[in-house]
Amino acid sequence: MSKLLTVYAIGGGMLGLTLILTVFAQCFWQTSQGDVFDWNSVEATSTFRWQRCYKHYQCTRLKVPMNYTNPSSGWAGLAIIRVPSLFPTTSPSYQGPLIINPGGPGGSGVSLILRSGIHFSTILDGRFDIIGLDPRGIGRSNPRVKFFRTYSEQALWLDGEYPDALNSSTQVLPRSIARAQLMGHLAEDQDDGTLGHITTENIARDMLSIARANGDDKLQYWGFSWGTILGVVFATLFPDHVGRMVLDGVIDAEDYYATLWSNNLLDTNKTLQHFFQACVDAGPTDCAFYAPNATEIAYNLDRLYDVVKAQPVPVYQGRTYGLVDYSLLRRAVFTALYSPFTMFEPLAQGLADLQAGNGDAIYSLVNRPRFECGDAEDYQYSNQYESGTALHCLDGDEVHDTPAELRRFYEKMTEYTTLAELWAVRMARKNEEDTPNEVWGKDKLTTIACQ
């Protein structure tokens, strides 16, 4: 491991505690080994019927009510995967099932286990059944949250989200608000009557159903990022059913349910400063973006922002191509802060390459949507964008902020983080009504134009 990585100390706060595991929810239905499993062939039942899947795992679907207060109104089929314990259930070493949620919201627990389930099992000495759940509306569970009819529609829409830095031009904030209103219409148009049941409270109830289906009265749970909200909600609803619970990368629940998301980046400036100082300490051999002191490295990065803002750098890698502009460069730096131990070294190399006029490495750090033609209707694309947006909206307080209020919210956020333009854009969404609210303390910013 290079010196650049070994000298780094993770900063506190949400971003510092968020692990690289959160990005595993971004993957599609194909494992790293290329194995594919047909989830449509798995019938949802009220008891577990495990079957072999992806060569080395076991899969099932659990049937749960869409509405727990009215079970006859319809059902959801939860996609569940597990890495079985190394010990038989009769062994004193067997510790039972452990559900792991990667966050998001909208993250796929099945994808997380496909990528890292074996590692979790190893960390825990094989004593637990490692369980990955695609929560209701998400991923392979059905019915799925769906704003778009095809993968192509989704890809084109997401591509329109870029550039997404609110300070990249004077048009980004008003366009973001207008796009949110359109997204609300898309959500309403595609809703089959189930969208209103995609809430964290119902997902918490689903987890109790999973525990009971396994014959347990207590839940064992490990949640990251938004998964900590899910854990808090479960513990609040069912305090007598909490067995062991780990909340990792804790989100402020009151801030989340107020639809603010206003304090998630409190320590991002510290984390970025760690990158600068780690590069200095690593030296020119181990840090490609080296300068004699952190202030000079920060200055060199600011110069790069100015350069690409004035003239974006084209990137062509065959079927992958695009521009490294101001927003993408900011996004690349922001992305690296989530996973310092794995991404600080590539970030330094990418910045050095960009300084020399080559944007390939920086472009590769950002997981941008890619449009592809083909059998789009049959392509089971990731719906993390839609499901995460739905959870933001349905969980949080309703919002009626004016564009002026949204702008003041963003400006307030810039007082404590230099990356506010990348986070506040998530919250620069509003309803169609323009009912004024007081700024800041009582602002309620939503990530979907709720109807």
Q: How far is CA 138 from the centre of its chain?
A: 12
How far apart (Å, rounded) are the C-alpha atoms in residues 297 and 267? 19
> What pLDDT, on a 0 to 100 scale, did the predictor assign at position 367?
65
Cβ-proximal residues to 58 (8 Å cutoff; 6+ apart), any chain: 50, 51, 52, 81, 82, 84
> What pLDDT, on a 0 to 100 scale, did the predictor assign at position 162?
62
Q: Which of 28, 204, 20, 194 is nearest to 110 (CA)?
A: 28
> What pLDDT, on a 0 to 100 scale, did the predictor assign at position 119?
96
Q: Which of 420, 408, 164, 410 is nearest to 269 (CA)?
A: 420
How far apart (Å, rounded) are the C-alpha atoms in residues 135 and 247? 17
> What pLDDT, on a 0 to 100 scale, did the predictor assign at position 198?
96
Q: Where are the domains of the chain?
A: 3-11+265-365, 19-145+198-248
Which pLDDT tens digit goes with each residue over 190-203? 999 999 999 999 99
What are the phi and psi torsion angles at 378 (to 5°)? -95, 0
> What pLDDT, on a 0 to 100 scale, did the predictor assign at position 368?
60
Return the SS3 of 429. Answer: strand
How far apart (Å, rounded) are the C-alpha atoms in residues 197 and 206? 12
Which pLDDT tens digit goes with each residue over 62-83? 999 999 999 888 999 999 999 9
> What pLDDT, on a 0 to 100 scale, did the predictor assign at position 161?
67
> What pLDDT, on a 0 to 100 scale, did the predictor assign at position 163?
58
How far apart (Å, rounded) are the C-alpha atoms in residues 191 and 389? 14
Q: Which two tokens stand for residue 446?
A: 């939503």
Which mean pLDDT values do the consecutive 10-residue runs of the chain (451 residues) have? Answer: 31 31 33 68 96 95 96 94 97 97 95 96 97 96 91 81 76 84 91 94 98 96 97 98 96 91 87 97 97 98 97 91 93 92 97 97 79 48 88 87 84 86 62 29 30 28
Q: What is the CATH number of domain 19-145+198-248?
A: 3.40.50.12270
Half-sphere exposure of 389 (CA within 13 A, CB side): 26
